[in-house]
Amino acid sequence: MNKKKSDTSIYTPTECKKFILPVRDVIDIIGGKWRLPIIIALSFKIHRFKELERQIEGITPRMLSKELKELEINGLISRAVFNTMPVSVEYSLTDYGKSLDKVIATMRDWGLTHRNKIRNE
C-alpha cells in the first residue's frame, strides 16, 4: 500500500478492487456524520434513547432513531426493551460492535496527529 508512484503497476485492477471493496463496506456501515459518535458513546456505557440524544450534540431524535436502526440491522448494537411504565429502551454495543474499538482508537490517534500537524503548519 505504501508504494511509490512507479510501483503502482504491481497491483492488478482486480487486486485493487479486492482491497477497495471491504473498505467501502466499512465506510457504508460506520460512515456518515452520526454513526461513529453513536458507537463511541455506547462504548463508554449503555444508554437510553434520551441519554444518547443528549450525549451526541446536534443529532435530532428522528436521525438518532434512523441511525440506531441501521446499526442494529448491521449487528453493531443491541436494543433492550423493558416492560416498565413508560417503556424503557436501552442501547448497547454488541461484541461485534466492540470489535471496532481498535479501528476507532487508530482513527482517533490519526485524528490527533492530523490536528497537531495542521495547527503547527
What pLDDT, in 10s, does the model give residues 31-40? Answer: 999 999 999 9
User: Phi, psi (5° rounding) for residue 79?
Assistant: -120, 125
Print burial letters for 44-55: b (CB count within 10 Å at least 16), e (below 16): eeebebeebbeb
Residue 4: pLDDT band (50, 70, 90) is: low
Element (DSSP H or E) covering residue 55: helix 49-55
Element (DSSP H or E) covering residue 17: helix 13-30
The radius of gyration computed from the CA coordinates of the chain, to the nearest angstrom, equals 19
Q: Structure pTM?
A: 0.82
What pLDDT, in 10s, does the model give residues 20-74? Answer: 999 999 999 999 999 999 999 999 999 999 999 999 999 999 999 999 999 999 9
In this structure, CATH architecture of domain 11-119: Orthogonal Bundle (1.10)
Question: Where do the structural domains in the chain lie, given as residue ranges?
Answer: 11-119
